Structure 1
Amino acid sequence: MSTVASVGGLGLGPVLAGLLAQYAPAPHVLPFVVEIALLVPGAAAIATLPTGRPATRWRPRRPQLPPAVRGVFATSGTASFLAFAVIGLFLTLIPTYVATLSGSDNLLLGGAAVALLLARSAVAQLVGYGKPARNLEVIGLPLLAAGLVLLAVAGGLGSLTLLLAATVIAGVGQGLAFLGGLTAVNQAAPAGRHADVVSSFYVAIYLGVGLPVIGVGFLATSLGLLPAVQYSAALVALLCLVVLVVLARHRDQPRTTNAN
């Protein structure tokens, strides 16, 4: 449920921000004020949680991967990196694409399109819960690739219908690939090393959100937005298929079930 909550929060944010920015006063200020206000009860709830006294002095250290989990992490971590690379691309581009293709500058419409992607991801995770992790990844990765191809085609043809179809397909693929990747990594982690493994996993997916979008920005400055999106989508789609082939070759390994 933690993955559904995080993706659900990502989807609710753009809808709330779009609603406030479009229809409420102070559109450049009010969304941030509301977000800060919503953080207050969350911080208060965390403050009431029981805490234990650490046996040793706390100090920051980098996440480490035990040797036993590195093979699974290489495939499942990469699959989830790509899943969040797709999220980053869509979250960055969908509002602009929707405004351009629909001829409307309504901010709520762009936020709702973003929420559609993340809602499909959340639903896919709920439906996929309890399924073998490898199966989830094998289904999710080609859906991610298909969504990216449709995104590139939608921009070239100027089709809002194709864009929405790409959003739905990519959202389902992202949810399945992410859930499968996290499950596989969780199950492969040795006892007592889950914190190391899961923190490393989240480093990978947050890099997936940020790095590809920066790359698209660099490409767009020299090639223009549409070619940059098309090349980036093609590259990420190709990488999804490469990881899919690697996973398919290892289907004889023991499969894991969800421990989310």
Structure 2
Amino acid sequence: MTQAPRKNLLSTERRGKKWMVTAGVILALISSIIFICATSPWMLYLARAVEWIALGAFMGTSNALLLHHTSQQYIKRSLAYSSMATLLGFSLGPAICGVIVQYSSFSPETFPYVVLLVLLLFALGLLFSLPPTNEKRNKQTPIRIRLGIPSKSRRLFVFFVCTAVFVMLALNGVVISLIPTFVHTILNLNNLAWSGLLLLIFLGGGAIAQQIAWPSHTNSRIQVGIILLLIGAWFMITAGFTSSMFLFIVGMILLAIGNGWTFQASMQLAGSLGETFERPTIISTYYLAGYTGMAIPTIGVGSLSTIVGLLPALIIFGTIVTLIGAGIIAVPKISERKKVSSM
């Protein structure tokens, strides 16, 4: 990110980080209400659109708000807890929904959003209980969407941190969309609760894997995590070809560990780059890269599968992601060589 006047960095400078996070939660509440009241397809699309706006407003700024209330020596630990909570949230959602849809006789299509509504109201109450951030606010600053790349670590951030979270969520998005199919073809089950349980193991396992201390170096943790993600993805693809339960389970375990290490370490690295006032835009850019990785490849694989079939589409996807992953592993080494040669 080029050095710009601080007042132009982000719309949080207009009202503050706490206000932006609160706005995200309120938009999520509105989205849940629309889902509950939906009676036609356009309302579902509207609810989903509002939900993604809420997520965009919340995710990056919430981490910046967390860092605002965190002492300098505890920043790495706080970001580790944040990444763990994110994976746990993503895993508990489908697990709870799967059980409700499969076993609840009380409006199973809307009841999950009622549960979400209650949780969001609880989160809103916790937000109001936070002390004020005492930020300098400029109400004349126009509201705008601004992203940021740290000027001193541009190469590392773009080609290593952002690309790592892109690959991680690209694999997650495709695997998550395929798990119901795998449950049916490999496990021979039609119970939706099993799909939710596998997602709980898949993403929740990533949160648990973050407690493993090795490898301790941030860059190495990301690199090993990417390797595990790629190997796990190929195990899953092969399981789809062979309908092998063993390959399916091993692939899920490798992907879970790779998720935990890659997300935790890349989040910590993103939070350590740039100046303090740059972090909201840096983390927002980090999440944009991640959710782009979840959206575009999933749509691409789905579209390609209609032309060449699902498994060939997965092979093409796996090959492309493997090549990107090899580049991620090489970036820090290239940077280190350049530093040595310039000395």
TM-score by length of 2: 0.69
Q: Does 1:171 align with 2:256?
A: yes
Q: CA deviation at 1:252?
A: 6.5
CA distance in 2, matches of 1:129, 1:195: 29
Measured against aligned partners, the alpha-carbon deviations of 1:126-151 in whole angstroms (never above 9, x if no partner) come to: 22489221110121111011011111
Cα distance in 2 for residues equivalent to 1:35 and 1:224: 36
Counterparts of 2:153 and 2:145 in 1: how far apart (Å)? 19
Please identify, of 61-70 and 213-222, the stretch whose mean Cα deviation from structure 2 is larger.
61-70
Q: 1:129 to 1:13 in 2, by over 3 A?
A: farther
Contact kept? 1:99, 1:110, Cα under 8 Å: no
Shift of 1:225: 2.0
Alpha-carbon spacing, 1:85–1:206, altered in 2? closer, same or farther (3 Å) = same
Instruction: Name the CA shift for 1:112/1:251 in 2 (closer, same or farther; >3 Å).
Output: farther
**Range with bigger deviation, 164-173 or 237-246:** 237-246
Over 3 Å counting, the alpha-carbon distance change for 1:242 and 1:66 in structure 2 is: closer
Tell me, in whole angstroms, the C-alpha distance in 1 between the residues paired with 2:188 and 2:216.
Answer: 42
Map 1:84-163; keep pairs closer than 5 Å: 84-128=169-213, 131-163=216-248
Q: Which structure has the bigger radius of gyration?
A: 2
2: CA distance, partners of 1:243 / 1:73:
11
The alignment covers a number of residue pairs equal to: 254
Tell me if 1:2 matches 2:82.
Answer: yes
Secondary structure of the corresponding residue to residue 165 of structure 1: helix
4+ aligned runs moved over 6 Å, structure 1: none
Contact map agreement 2:215 2:221 (CA 8 A) in 1: no
* Number of the residue aligned with 1:13: 93
Letter matched to residue 314 of structure 2: V
How far apart, CA to CA, are the structure 2 residues paired with 1:80 and 1:165? Answer: 22
1:44 aligns with 2:125: yes
CA contact (8 A) 2:161 2:286 kept: no
Q: 2:325 aligns with which of 233, 240, 246?
A: 240
Q: Are 1:192 and 2:277 an aligned pair? A: yes
Pick closer, same or farther for the CA change 1:174–1:87 going to 2, 3 Å.
same
Cα 1:82/1:179, change in 2 over 3 Å: same
Matched residue type, 1:198: I
Mapped contact 1:4–1:126 kept (Cα < 8 A): no
Q: Can you list the C-alpha shifts for 1:192-213, whole angstroms capped at 9, x where unaligned?
A: 3222211111111111111111
Worse-superposed segment, 154-163 or 44-53 = 44-53
Contact 1:124 1:172 in 2 (8 A): yes
Structure of greater relative contact order (alpha carbons < 8 Å, 6+ residues apart): 1
Counterparts of 1:18 and 1:214 in 2: how far apart (Å)? 23
Structure 1: runs of 5+ lacking an equivalent: 255-260
Give 1:248 shift: 3.7
- Of stretches 165-174 and 60-69 in structure 1, the one that deviates more from structure 2 is 60-69
Name the SS of the counterpart of 2:210 in structure 1.
Answer: helix
Q: Aligned-residue CA RMSD in angstroms?
A: 2.1
Instruction: State the Cα deviation string for residues 112-136 of structure 1 (Å, max 9, x = none).
Output: 1111111221122222489221110
SS at match of 2:138: coil
Name 1:73's counterpart in structure 2.
157
Aligned residues: percent identity? 28
Whether the aligned pair in 1 keeps the contact of 2:100 and 2:111 (CA below 8 Å) is yes
Asked if structure 2 preserves the Cα contact closer than 8 Å seen for 1:148 and 1:234, the reply is no
Unaligned runs of 5+ residues in structure 2 are 1-80
Asked if the contact 1:128–1:176 (Cα under 8 Å) also holds between the matched residues in 2, the reply is no
Shift in CA distance, 144/101, structure 1 to aligned 2, threshold 3 Å: same
Q: Answer whether contact 1:69 1:189 (CA < 8 A) is retained.
A: yes
Partner AA of 1:161 in structure 2 = F
Contact 2:151–2:274 (Cα < 8 Å) also in 1 = no
One-letter identity of the residue aligned with 1:33? V
* Structure 1 residue corresponding to 2:291, chosen from 206, 213, 216: 206
> How far off is 1:72 after superposition?
1.4
Q: What residue is the counterpart of 1:257 in the other structure?
A: none
- Which range moved further: 98-107 or 186-195? 186-195
Q: Is the 8 A contact 1:138 1:248 kept in 2?
A: no
Q: Which amino acid aligns with 1:70?
A: R
